[in-house]
Chain A
Amino acid sequence: MASRFWTQQQSDSESEEEEEIEEEEEELETRPDPREGAAAGSKYLSANLSDSDESDDQRRVVRSAKDKRFDEMGTIVEQMKNYMKINDWVSLQESFEKLNKQLEKVIRVTESEKAPRVYIKALVMLEDFLVQALANKDAKKKMSSSNAKSLNYMKQKLKKNNKLYEAEIELYRQKPESEEDSDNDEEDEEGMESEVDYSDEEPGNIAAGYSGSEDEEEEEDEEGWEKKRSKKDKLMDKQFMRDPSEITWEMVDKKVKEIIAARGRKGTDRTEQVEQLTYLTRVAKTPAQKLEVLMHVVSAQFDVTPNLNTHLPVAVWKKSVQNILSILDILSQYRNIEVDERVEPESDTETQKGADYEGPIYVRGNIVAFLERIDDELFKSLQCIDPHTKEYVERMRDEPLFMTLAQNVQDYVQRIGDKSATARVALRRVEHVYYKPQEVYEAMRKLAEAQTSNVAEEDELPTEVDEGESGEDGKVIEIKARESKAPPSFVVIPEIVPRRPTFPDLSRVLMDQLVSTIYKYGDERTRARAMLCDIYHHAISEEFHTARDLLLMSHLQENVQVMDISTQILFNRTMAQLGLCAFRAALINEAHGCLSELYAGGRIKELLAQGVSQSRYHEKTPEQEKLERRRQMPFHMHINLELLEAVHLICAMLLEVPNMAANAHDIKRKVISKTFRRLLDINERQTFLGPPENVRDHMMVATRSLSNGNWQKAVEVVQSLDVWKLIPRREFVLDMLKSKIQEEGLRTYLFTYSSYYDALSLDQLMTIFELEEAQVHSIISKMMIAEELHASWDQPTRCIVTHNVEPTRLQALASQYAEKLTVLVEGNEKAFDARTGGGLEGISSMRRKEGQDYAGAASGRRQNEYTGRQNYREFGNAGNRSGFTGGRGAGGQTRGGFYRDQRSGQANSRNNSSYTAGYQSTRYQDAYSSVGRTTYQGLSSAGASRNAQPDAAGRMVNLAQGGLTRSSGRF
């Protein structure tokens, strides 16, 4: 049986080979791809399986009595192979089932848990074949219905079945040898044999080290196509070398088309394609053809990684860059050649026109797209490579290379007058420069210069390493001469376009050049991005005002919501950088304005594309995650998050601490930074406070000491952060911080404690806060003018005399209390309204009951008042709750109106004074005692104010008992 198979296979492959050779002779065929069709695939598979079958045979000879089961299994496998060859899925299905049954028997016999190797091998074989069959759609269509049905059945069955042996299959696929070793079948011969097999199976492993004990014929068969290819290659090379002049334009053209046609097909070896095309560049007949082929080489190189998530291998990337540079060389030497995407593919006889052809030659292609792809690949590789390795640094060194290319491409598109393309290329360049501060830029410039100085060495290196595919060296004559294998390039193109980037001394100069080009020619998105980069660059070069003006004048803030995500990320990055810049320039308010929005959602990492933040509340789908990962910024472009957070929190602290002190009595009135408040709340709720560890802890400690008036400690804590070493002009910034903290400390101090003093001495304040007299004077004056501090200067004695119109704690609480009561009363009134006015439907019975209670609790006095309710409620609707206190008295409406007028015209603090007038009157006590009950009854409806209320109320009760003395000490 085995022999039958043998002959069959041999004839098969022989005939095919013959065909191939014929082809070669005719059209310079390099080699057919064995995996192209199902037939070839089966040949490949059967070739290696025939071995195992052979080994089975041998085994039977050696110890035939020992294990029959194995033989049976082998037979089934044999059958399956045959069925595969004729694509008979129905029989295959049957054999498969037989095989599984056999497996049970074998396992019973051997008493081992593991499936035997033969079985696993069969599975692998089946699986591969299945994949092939499924991929080949044409063949699938042609199948008979029963056959197709079996195919589907097999697909499912195999999938299920293979799951059981997943590990083994994996192991087998990875390293069949080791599997073989671990396999405790004591069959040495098989091991020997199968080793040979496996070397065949691995496509990379060309049978160079093959131990040829077999005869010639066998060798050819055994090695399969791998060996043949190398032979054919040799053949082809010989042909080329022998007679390059024989190769005509048509031959090259035909071949190119052939290769291109195979592109993207299942089973096409992509690297192989690149090699073939590269070879063709050397024999191309005309510059235009060479150009065309080069274009194809570049596209083929891009195909090497089919996946969006992996990047192009660095070596391939570099070669692509070189190829594009040669394209540019050709284009700049032969000005009549034009590369255009819109050329009809039919017109490709164009490239036949020789170097001396005068008129325009059109070649299809898009160099800008190439450049963009190159850039994307660079970006992707930087995303993927671990930033802490040397590899990353190495990779970053390729940036000047890219800049060279981009520069050349830009020159080219500028020459041909393609304005929008110019803008696009310029934008790519801008995006490589904008985030670099002058020092980094300087480093890149130096690196570029250093690289060009030893450019000769670099050129040698890659050619020696990858001799086989030296397309880019085709035009460098001396290098080419060193290559024994490669024939001389037919069309020699000297290096015309510069191979080194030219950078102006200042990054600003480069930015200005590029950006102005973009503003002139670019479309909306390009311009917006360029503008953002420009702003970013201004921000890192400490030009806050310019950056801010650009941002405001471009109206980007309004439009950014509708832009694409990557632009939004850029916008966020720009805002972050602008914030840092404002901070360095001591513009705390501006800095906070820029940063607070970024921190509002707690998703800073996502907003800046510097990592993924986990959200507890919604899971991301894998697609979303993938997308997000694709958007990530490479490490070297990151904005340090700790620094950013520190700056944000410092700004928030400097603004919020005095603000909290100013509005100590009603926390909710004016919140500057919600994020900061939340952090502070969390911090305050903690029972134990350890020493600060991260930025946040530090800032919380600083905040606490600042609000306690201990500014020295705040300064110390803030300055102890490590992030400051990342900031340029560190000393200046730290000094600025110190003085800011001093100033805000003074303000906080005055807010908090001024009401406890009759007078404060200017000199005293100067010494406490270590500030200049002018500064203290200015700060305090400002507070007086803004009516934040109710005091005035007494010039002769250099004192601040406070007027003590600030309400004491007691008064403030009382006013707060009254306000809350108003809310309650209003709620009750609504309920009452609903009851009497007939709007009952929408109110729960519970609520209705409350209304009743209330009605009972409220004395008849109130009932009278309801006659004037209509007017009264107008006050409430106007949002002026406190009108109520006045409204309750005898002359309700008029009093209320008076209060309202007064209040609306005055600052917050004034309200208290007008309130307290009412408070002191006896009427207040009266009112208080009557509403006391309703407080508790109405609690459930009070909603948000629930927590605060009983507390306040409780205190009030105590107070009422102890008489209304001024009791600031008690609170």
Chain B
Amino acid sequence: MAQYDLTLTIAPYLDRHLVFPLLEFLQEKQLYTDDHILKAKIDLLAKTNMVDYAVDIYKSLYHTEYPLQEMLDRRTEVMDRLKYLEELAAPLVSFLQNPALVQELRPDKQYNLQMLHDRFQIRSEQIEALYQFAKFQFECGNYSGAGDFLYQYRTLCTNVDRSFSALWGKLAAEILMQNWDVAVEELNRLKETIDSRPDPPLTQLKNRTWLMHWSLFIFFNHENGRNGIIDLFFQEKYLNAIQTNAPHLLRYFATAIIINKRRRNMLKELIKVIQQEHYTYKDPITEFLECLYVDYDFEGAQQKLRECEELIVNDFFLGKQVQENGYLTMPLRDEFLENARLFIFETYCRIHQCIDIGILSQKLNMTYGDAERWIVNLIRNARLDAKIDSKMGTVVMGTQHTNV
């Protein structure tokens, strides 16, 4: 299933720290060898400040007790830098840690700066140091600290670009801490900022692509994410970004639409996009939709559905497992399969007046009994105008067409 793995495609659009969960997931799924993944992890950590973690991985990778000298050097370097920044930012940090004082801050940034300067001798260098410190914290893996500092920093910062970076940092921190509600807020804020910034189109495109990738973490975890992802991705600018820059996002987009019953109306648009991008990107999920709605090839759809299942299990975002009543379930997979089946069946019914349940059960990847039960349920819930001819083993559709 490694052929459908998107980790490599997605990774360039993510922050280093955001890639970790993906690698962890891959390790668990055993798609690649352990060594392979451990190496990737070390590479990933090389640029971060999580030296201790890197050392651990190094040890387990090469089964040695002695890490490389350069790693140790790096460690001391990091520690020094940390100390330095900490000292530099100390006055401001202490100020910010005092809730009574923070209360005095007002929405007026100029006033705040003035006040800090007058009363606490905190100058702009210290504020800048706060940003650096926050960034450093983030690099070290202290996401909550970083997130807090960045939040504070934003209230003080006057530099637009810096504030923009701080937004990204904050979002990353929230995602890594899995504070989905906060993350959604940050995401929306960031989105507005991107749209309003006077960047050249190319930069905007890049930013949007990043944003979409990051948002995957949120949308597949947040309870309302399924609507959120469709809303975001379906905006024209973002859809354009998908088409030009990241067609692989169509996988998540398609999945989101398939499992979201209320957004069925968007399916047509989605299929158009999928068809257009067919030459650059395809995977079982998009192919499934194509088989079903472009070629009406039910056999093919069936085939693809099986592949889809496998794909979902091995996808970080889609194959999330949830502990429920002591069972490990994959809610997304189940929903996807259920909906996909319904799609097939619906389409099938639309063009048939008489269907053999045996064949249908095959197409739906069910046993005869299951299929019959499923159909009965559908009929009972008044979603289908049909009758089962149990002697012949067929479903006969009610005539939708009024005769002349």
Contacts and interface: CB of A to CB of B under 8 A. Distances in A.
Nearest to A792: B353
18 contacts: A545-B279, A545-B280, A777-B297, A778-B296, A778-B297, A781-B351, A782-B295, A784-B350, A792-B352, A793-B352, A793-B353, A794-B354, A795-B354, A795-B356, A795-B394, A803-B401, A805-B404, A807-B404
A805 B403 contact: yes
B193 interface: no
A801 interface: yes
A916 B402 CA distance: 12
A913 B401 CA distance: 10
B295 A778 contact: yes
Interface in B365-404: 392, 394, 397, 399, 401-404
Nearest to B395: A795
Interface residues of B, number: 24
Given A795-B356, A795-B359, A553 B404 contact: no
A913 B352 contact: no
A793 B351 contact: yes
Contacts of B394: 795-796
Interface in A625-669: none
A44 B356 CA distance: 108
B299 interface: yes
A894 interface: no
B96 interface: no
Mostly helix, strand, loop or mixed at chain B's interface? mixed
Given A553-B244, A793-B352, A916 B347 contact: no
A886 to B, nearest CB: 18
A774 B297 contact: yes
A774 B280 CA distance: 25
Contacts of B404: 804-805, 807, 811, 913, 916
Interface string B312-333: 0000000000000000000000
Nearest to B401: A803
B402 A805 contact: yes
Given A778-B296, A794-B352, A805-B402, 9 more contacts: A777-B296, A781-B296, A782-B295, A782-B296, A792-B397, A793-B352, A795-B352, A797-B354, A913-B402
A785 B401 contact: no
Interface in A433-480: none
Given A553-B244, A805-B401, A805-B404, A785 B296 contact: yes
Q: Which 6 pairs between the two chains have the least Cβ-Cβ distance?
A: A781-B296, A792-B353, A803-B401, A784-B351, A793-B352, A794-B354
A790 interface: yes
B351 A792 contact: yes
Interface in B270-296: 279-280, 295-296
A803 B397 CA distance: 13
A790 B403 CA distance: 11
Interface in B332-352: 347, 350-352
Interface in A532-559: 545, 549, 553
B5 to A, nearest CB: 24
A784 B400 CA distance: 13
Interface of A: 545, 549, 553, 774, 777-778, 781-782, 784-785, 790, 792-797, 801, 803-805, 807, 811, 913, 916
Given A778-B296, A778-B297, A796 B352 contact: no
Nearest to A793: B352
B351 A796 contact: no
Contacts of A781: 296, 351
A796 B397 CA distance: 13
B297 A795 contact: no
B344 to A, nearest CB: 12
B11 interface: no
A784 B404 CA distance: 18
Given A782-B296, A784-B350, A785-B347, A796 B402 contact: no
Nearest to B276: A545
Contacts of B392: 796
Contacts of A801: 353
B349 to A, nearest CB: 9
B355 interface: yes
Listed residue (A784, A792, A803) with the most chain B CB atoms within 10 angstroms of its CB: A792
A807 B404 CA distance: 8
Contacts of B402: 805, 913
Contacts of A785: 296, 347, 350-351
A796 B389 CA distance: 12
B201 to A, nearest CB: 10
Contacts of A782: 295-296
Contacts of B244: 549, 553
A587 to B, nearest CB: 10
A805 B295 CA distance: 25
A781 B347 CA distance: 9
Contacts of A803: 399, 401, 403
Contacts of B401: 790, 803, 805
Nearest to A807: B404
Contacts of A811: 404
A803 B403 CA distance: 7
Interface in B234-289: 244, 279-280
A929 B399 CA distance: 36
Nearest to B293: A785
A797 B359 CA distance: 13
B318 to A, nearest CB: 28
Nearest to B279: A545
Contacts of B352: 792-795
Most chain A CB within 10 A, of B244, B295, B351, B401, is at: B351
A781 B401 CA distance: 16
Interface in B79-117: none
Contacts of A774: 297, 299
Nearest to B243: A549
Nearest to B360: A795
Given A784-B350, A793-B351, A804 B403 contact: yes
Contact of A796 (B295, B299, B350, B354): B354
Contacts of B397: 792
B147 to A, nearest CB: 38
A804 B295 CA distance: 25
